[in-house]
């Protein structure tokens, strides 16, 4: 039927409409992967999480070392008189050694906490990637609906021209053929645009406000068939009102796009809007969710929240071991060095009339030392171990809760995907029926046997269903984005 209608279109008009199609649907080649890489690298929240991870790695590198040795030096203001001479001063050096296994436990606890911070960092990256993809899909949705609004505006302008021709007493048959030539390409544009949207749309498939609103307004076009006079004039006024409303809606759509561009800029760490020409995968591309009966293994292995809780639990288990080892004695090894000077005995005659100096007087003394601390107050060590065990148990329960929530979210994603795909199939059938109806109505209109208002109403309804189709396709892609969020597809393991 489409080929039959083309027989009535002038060649120049067909070229003009082809140019309009190419203008209305520019090639959208913005690389989402490039935006994602920049967001993961430059987003302030991601950069802050990266710094926290580096700090945790530094703390882990400082764990597992012996305590600093203790050096003590003392000098007597007056020499201490001892049998071995006058003691001038002393110095001691002591190194404490924790009980066997304590340093290893400290290092394991610090490493587990660093891995938990790394999992938290991946969680931030996952949220940034998800927010970017949702904003990108919103831009795609707004741009696709904007295209439909522009088609609708072109339709209203064509109808207004037709009404003016009839009001001025022009050739009604020629006017109808001209209007049909302008309406039918719009049908082709709507179909080709929707089929090229291969896989994207928003959650909740409600028709766009401007597209559906214009469709409802088109139902009142029956007065246009009255030809010249008050009916055609009132039709012109109604068309102008609808056109003004649609132009206002397009301005609002542009404002929404500007806000979405600013959201993209914020996610990229910029203080400016980042215009994006959103594009999606090839036409007809689809993806499959894993079996809904059980949570996929890739989610269990890669989900950042589960990984963070598991590493924190491991750190608490190491704290239990550390608290137990703290209750064991610490051994200290050291040396004490005492400085002496000889002292002559007063009043005691020495050999050959000299003073008597005992043998060995004035020799410095070296004394090896061993110390042992006695952890007698056991209650504090038991309390530390008990607290760490309770926290480890709480983290294990949290992991069970997160697994249940992930499974529930996964089931919800399956339901949302099935609902969106079911709606897509329904809309595809409805659009096909409307296109067939539009073919018949356009053929009848060219043969002066049909009603222009009928063609208008069918075309407006087709645009409304195309808007719903965009919404449903974006809904499917939002399910995919949510699953990638669960499995941390954009941030690795």
Over the stretch 330-357, which tens digit does the pLDDT of each residue have? Answer: 999 999 999 988 876 654 555 555 555 5
Contacts of 4 (CB under 8 A, 6+ apart): 443
Chain segment 459-472, per-residue pLDDT in tens: 778 888 988 999 99
Question: The tokens 């404002």 sit on which residue?
Answer: 255
The per-residue pLDDT for 199 is: 36
Residue 366 is predicted with a pLDDT of: 93
Contact 380, 339 (CB under 8 A): no
**Rounded mean pLDDT of 112-139?**
95
Out of 58-62, 151-155, 298-302, 371-375, least confident range: 151-155
At 181-228, the pLDDT tens digits run 555 444 443 344 344 333 333 333 333 334 444 333 433 344 344 444
120 sits in which H/E element: helix 102-167
- Residue 178 clears pLDDT 70, i.e. is over it: no
CA–CA distance, 458 with 455 (Å, rounded to integer): 5
End-to-end CA distance of the chain: 55
Please write the tens of the pLDDT for every residue from 5-60: 333 333 332 322 223 333 333 333 347 889 999 999 999 999 999 999 999 999 99
Give the mean pLDDT of 105-131.
Answer: 95
Average pLDDT estimate for 384-394: 96
Residue 445 has a pLDDT of: 62
Do 162 and 304 contact (CB within 8 A), yes or no? Answer: no
Its pTM stands at: 0.75
pLDDT tens track for 274-309: 999 888 765 445 567 777 777 888 888 889 999 999
Fold of 2-9+30-339+364-486: Outer membrane efflux proteins (OEP) (1.20.1600)
State yes or no: pLDDT of 241 exceeds 50.
Answer: yes
Indicate whether 118 pLDDT > 60.
yes
Contacts of 414 (CB under 8 A, 6+ apart): 289, 292
Higher pLDDT, 121 or 441: 121
Helix, strand or coil, per DSSP, at residue 77: strand
Domain residue ranges of the chain, discontinuous segments joined by +: 2-9+30-339+364-486
DSSP-assigned states of every residue in 256-317: HHHHHHHHHHHHTT-SS----------TT----PPPTTS--HHHHHH-HHHHHHHHHHHHHH
DSSP 3-state of 143 = helix
How distant, in Å, are the alpha carbons of 5, 443, 446 from that of 176?
13, 11, 6
Separation of alpha carbons 246 and 260, rounded Å: 21
Residue 370: helix, strand or coil by DSSP? strand
| % of the chain exceeding 90 in pLDDT | 46
249/148 Cα distance (integer angstroms): 12
- pLDDT (0 to 100) of residue 7: 30
pLDDT at 191: 42
Residue 33 tokens, joined: 């992967």
* Structure confidence at residue 351 (pLDDT): 55
**Would you state the pLDDT for residue 134?**
95
Mean of pLDDT over the chain: 78
Would you state the structure tokens that stand for residue 202, as one six-digit string?
């928003």
- pLDDT, residue 205, reads 34
Ranges assigned E (strand) in 311-457: 331-341, 365-372
* Long-range CB contact pairs, 293-301, < 8 A, 24+: 294/407, 295/403, 295/406, 295/407, 295/410, 296/410, 296/487, 298/487, 299/406, 299/410, 299/486, 299/487, 300/403, 300/406, 301/493
pLDDT at 441: 78
User: CB of 462 within 8 A of CB of 433?
Assistant: no
What percentage of the chain exceeds 70 in pLDDT?
A: 73
Distance CA(480)–CA(199), nearest Å, equals: 10
Spatial separation of the C-alpha atoms in residues 184 and 436, rounded to whole Å: 11
Whole-angstrom distance, CA of residue 120 vs CA of residue 118: 5
Residue given tokens 């697994």 in the structure block: 403
DSSP string, 30-60: --HHHHHHHHHHH-HHHHHHHHHHHHHHHHH
| CA dist., res. 483 & res. 460, Å (int) | 35
Residue 226 has a pLDDT of 40
Query: Rounded CA gap, 244 and 240, in Å?
Result: 6
pLDDT band at 143 (very low <50, low <70, confident <90, very high): very high
- Whole-number Å distance between alpha carbons of 320 and 287: 46
DSSP 144: H
Q: What letter would DSSP give residue 100?
A: T
Higher pLDDT, 211 or 318: 318
């Amino acid at each position: 039927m489409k080929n039959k209608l083309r027989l009535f279109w002038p060649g120049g008009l067909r070229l003009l409409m082809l140019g309009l199609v190419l203008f209305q649907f520019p090639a959208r080649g913005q690389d989402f992967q490039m935006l994602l890489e920049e967001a993961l690298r430059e987003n302030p929240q991601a950069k802050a999480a990266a710094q926290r991870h580096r700090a945790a790695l530094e703390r882990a590198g400082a764990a597992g070392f012996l305590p600093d040795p203790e050096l003590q030096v003392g000098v007597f203001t007056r020499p201490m008189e001892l049998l071995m001479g006058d003691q001038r001063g002393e110095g001691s050096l002591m190194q404490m050694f924790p009980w066997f296994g304590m340093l290893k436990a400290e290092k394991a606890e610090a490493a587990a906490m660093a891995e938990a911070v790394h999992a938290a960092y991946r969680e931030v990256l996952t949220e940034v990637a998800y927010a970017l993809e949702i904003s990108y899909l919103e831009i795609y949705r707004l741009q696709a609906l904007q295209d439909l609004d522009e088609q609708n505006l072109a339709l209203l302008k064509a109808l207004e021209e037709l009404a003016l021709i009839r009001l001025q007493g022009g050739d009604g048959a020629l006017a109808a053929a001209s209007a049909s030539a302008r309406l039918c390409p719009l049908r082709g544009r709507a179909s080709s645009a929707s089929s090229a949207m291969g896989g994207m749309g928003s959650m909740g498939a409600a028709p766009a406000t401007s597209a559906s609103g214009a469709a409802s307004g088109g139902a009142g076009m029956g007065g246009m068939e009255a030809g010249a006079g008050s009916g055609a004039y009132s039709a012109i006024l109604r068309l102008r009102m609808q056109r003004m409303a649609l132009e206002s809606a397009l301005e609002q759509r542009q404002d929404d796009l500007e806000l979405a561009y600013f959201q993209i800029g914020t996610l990229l760490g910029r203080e400016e809007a980042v215009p994006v020409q959103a594009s999606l995968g090839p036409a007809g591309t689809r993806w499959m969710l894993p079996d809904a009966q059980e949570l996929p293994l890739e989610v269990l292995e890669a989900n950042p929240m589960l990984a963070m809780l598991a590493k924190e639990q491991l750190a608490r288990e190491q704290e239990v071991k550390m608290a137990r080892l703290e209750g064991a004695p610490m051994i200290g090894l050291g040396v004490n060095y005492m400085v002496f000077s000889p002292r002559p005995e007063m009043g005691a005659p020495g050999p050959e009339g000299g003073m008597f100096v005992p043998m060995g007087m004035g020799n410095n003394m070296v004394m090896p030392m061993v110390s042992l601390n006695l952890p007698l107050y056991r209650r504090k060590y038991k309390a530390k171990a008990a607290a760490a065990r309770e926290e480890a148990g709480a983290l294990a329960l949290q992991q069970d809760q997160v697994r249940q929530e992930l499974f529930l979210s996964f089931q919800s994603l399956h339901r949302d995907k099935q609902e969106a795909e079911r709606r897509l199939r329904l809309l595809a059938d409805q659009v096909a029926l409307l296109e067939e109806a539009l073919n018949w109505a356009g053929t009848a209109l060219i043969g002066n046997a049909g009603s222009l208002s009928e063609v208008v109403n069918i075309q407006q309804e087709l645009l409304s269903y195309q808007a719903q189709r965009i919404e449903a396709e974006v809904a499917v892609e939002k399910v995919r984005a949510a699953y990638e969020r669960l499995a941390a597809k954009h941030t690795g393991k």
